[in-house]
Every structure is written in C-alpha cells, then in structure tokens.
Chains A and B, each alone.
Chain A
Amino acid sequence: MFPPAFAYSAPESLDEALATLTNEGESARVLAGGQSLIPMMKLRLASPAHLVDINNIPGLDYIDAANGYLRIGALVRHNDIVNSELVTAHNGAIASAAPWVADPLVRNRGTLCGSVAHCDPEGDWNSVMLAARAQVVAQSTSGERVIAIDDFVVDFFTNSLEPGEIVKEVRVPKYAGRGGGAYLKLERKIGDYATVAVATQLQLGEDGKISEAGIALTAVNNKNTRAIAAERALVGEEPSDEIFKEAAALAAQAAEPESNVRGTAEWKRNVVSVYTRRGLEASLAQARA
C-alpha cells in the first residue's frame, strides 16, 4: 500500500516549518514519528496535500524539569520516555504508561507529542495527560499558546489546534507535595490498542489527605475522558479502601464503552472499576514511598 501523492518538505528550523504550515493552511500536516499518520495515509483515511517533516529540526527532543514542569519536546520518542530517569523521578503515570505504548519498534519512532495531537480515543497518552493535568504548548508564526489538556482533547481524532499551529511541547506540573501515578492497560497482545486502560494520579497534602486526584479512561468513550465525579469523591478525603471503591464505581459510570471484538460493554465497565481501584492503590503507595 502507498498513500496518495503529497508535497514534502523537511525544514531544518522550527521557523521554517511554521512558515510552511501557515502558507499551506489546513492542507498541511506535521509529520513527526508518523506511526499513526503514515498508516492512516496508506489506508487513505488521511490524505494531506503537504507533509512538513519536523524530524530534521534540532532542539525538539528535550526532556527536562524546569519552572515547576516536566517538559517533553515534540521529537521525544516513546522509548526516550521509557529510558528517562527524569520522567521516573517526576511523574509516575507517564513512567508507568511508556512501556505499554504500542510495541518496541513503534516506540523507537513514534512521539508522545504526536500521539497527544492525534487524539485517538484508544491512544494511551491523552488519558495520562488528563490525569496529570498536562498543558500543550502550541506554536505558530504568531507566537506561543498554552492549552490545558482538557481544552486540547476536543473529540474523536479532534484537537483544538488552529491551522498553522504545531505541538511544540507537552508539559505536566510537578507534584506540589507527595504524589504518585499509574497507568493500567488491558490489551489482547503487545501492540494492540487498549481494550480498556485507566490513568490515575494522586497527590497528598501535609495532613496525609488527598489534595488532588486525576483519573482518566482510555478506549471507553469517543475521546479520552476524565472521570470527574470520581476525582471529586477523593479530594479532601483520607485515603482508604472504601473511598477508592467508591471512586472506582464512579469511574465506571463515566465509561460508555461499546461491545466489540475486544469485549462486551458490561465487562469493559467492570475493568474500568477494577483498574481504577488498583491504579489508585499503586498511586498511593508511590506517593507514600
């Protein structure tokens, strides 16, 4: 299989890439890892007239911890995150999700920022980012714009980027105090999309009570979805089996899965509940460690 013909440019600076994106408007797409975009083009589900390949732009492959954020640049591959001690030190949910994204070969090429921008409801990263309260740094010729992840993930394969904008960075706030996170994913085999996955993040106040809670679900809605009622049930509470069970039941209510080859809706909802509880337990253990 091969895609429809397209014009191709491989700029060596971000300014040049942004200028091309602005000139080409909606007909242009950014090519980073290409591990979702290229298959979609081959299957002719996407047919951009112009691809702007950003792989030759230096300085976009950074992972750092600055100004209160863990920052991940546009060309950081999934496998860079698997191997990053900085990520492990700063965010449990990201560190826990990275080895479960796709398969090792795809992780060598695919990028976190590209996956976030792709907004596939079966993709892993946006659940993690919703639970971790991430921000997307979008850049265009007219400057930089910071978008909260809740506003960025709009719908099925739809983000809130404007034409001419590129995801330059995804960043997550460092834990205010003690914190922990997890990503639990059920998949039929390595490389398959999630049947169900749940991202969790907990932060504890000085008093040991839950000061912030993030829970988000993969593959059970038309987009990665925060379980807001479940999060609210946790905040201000002393961590306990009872409150985790209550949150797990509320998270299951936020899921609207479809029955398909990967399982029935009822079963998937049940997995959401079990994985939410286990994820909260793992997040708590990490926060207390």
Chain B
Amino acid sequence: MQINITFNGTAQTSDVEPRQLLVDYIRGTGATGTHIGCDTTSCGACTVLVDGTPMKSCTMFAVQANGKSITTVEGLKQNGDLHQIQASFKEKHGLQCGFCTPGMMLTSAALLEENPDPSEDEIRWAISGNICRCTGYINIVKAVQHAGEQLRNS
C-alpha cells in the first residue's frame, strides 16, 4: 500500500505492507534512533511524535501514518543545533545507557510545547509511559526542568 508521510520535515512516499509496524518502517529507513524495547506497548522506547503527539510506534501500523507528520529523535535537531531538550539531557546527564532517551526526549519535548513550566509532579506524570531502568529518573526530571527554564528564557 502506498503511504505519504512527512518524516522529520521531509515528504516521502513509500510502499508498505499493512502489517508493517510504524517502528519497523522508521528503522527500515535507516533512522535507528527510535528503539524497540518491550515490543508490547509497555516501555515507551519507541515513542515518536505523530502530528506532534507522542505515541508508541510499536503499536501503530505504518499505513496509519499516511498523511501524518512523524517526528523521531533525528528530527529534533534544528538547523544543525541540538534541540534544547537534547542539550539539557546532555547538560544534566539525564541518561545512563541511553536506550530510553530518544522516547524520553520526544515525550518531554511534547510536554514543554504544551506546558512550558511544568512542576516536578507534572513532569513525572507526563513521562510515566516511558520506562528508564538506569537513572531512577532524578536527572531526567532535572533535564526537563532545565530545558523548560532555557526555553522560557530564550
């Protein structure tokens, strides 16, 4: 089936089998920043933005992305510079192994779009569908708070 999607800002047309999952489609294009963790809708490692809303790309078919705009971690960078959420994850060391990080950053970026000054509770609530097994979330929360501050001051 032919699908037309805007992938990280670029229009592309592809031929996909209906049963192909969005995450497999994305990784098949070479954009391997979107990770497959649990593959059962539990962990959030495969989070992408669908028309700006974070969703699990392991639980959506590629055909369902027809006509939509998909943003992955590769699409966060703007004009060659890291997105503020990426810079803040680096600055605050909001990661250890890095496996959950792409999904964590996309969910956080969407949160800050909607709520530029979230409380710690709001951040923890927003990322509660993204599981991190390393950090204990402390530095992830700090990174999101830092990104919020920077974005508000810029």
A55 within 8 A of B: yes
Stretch of B51-59, B78-86, B88-96, B144-152 that contacts chain A: B51-59
Q: Which residues in A have their C-beta under 8 angstroms from that of B1? A: 8
Any B CB within 8 A of the CB of A3: yes
Residue A7 at the B interface, CB < 8 A?
yes
- What number of B residues sit within 8 Å (CB to CB) of A? 30
Name the residue on A nearest B39 (C-beta): A1
Cross-interface CB contact of A190 among B21, B24, B40, B128, cutoff 8 Å: B128
Residue in B20, B59, B127 whose CB lies within 8 Å of A109: B59
Q: Tell me if A104 is interfacial: C-beta within 8 Å of chain B.
A: yes
In this complex, the interface size class of chain A, counting residues with CB under 8 Å from chain B, is 20 to 34
User: In the complex the two chains form, what is the Cα distance from A3 to B21 in whole Å?
Assistant: 9
Which one of B21, B41, B56, B63 contacts A2 once the chains associate, using CB atoms below 8 Å?
B21
Hey, what's the 0/1 contact readout for B117-147 against A, CB within 8 Å counting as 1? 0000000011111100000000000000000
Q: Is the CB of A105 within 8 A of B18?
A: no
Complex interface: chain A residues within 8 A of B64 (CB): 10, 34, 53, 55
Q: Is the CB of A109 within 8 A of B129?
A: no
B87 CB-CB contact with A under 8 Å: no
Residues on B facing A (Cβ under 8 Å): 1, 17-21, 24, 39-42, 44, 47, 53-56, 59-61, 63-64, 66, 107, 125-130
**Which positions in A face B, CB cutoff 8 Å?**
1-8, 10, 34-35, 38-39, 42-43, 51, 53, 55, 102-106, 108-109, 190-191
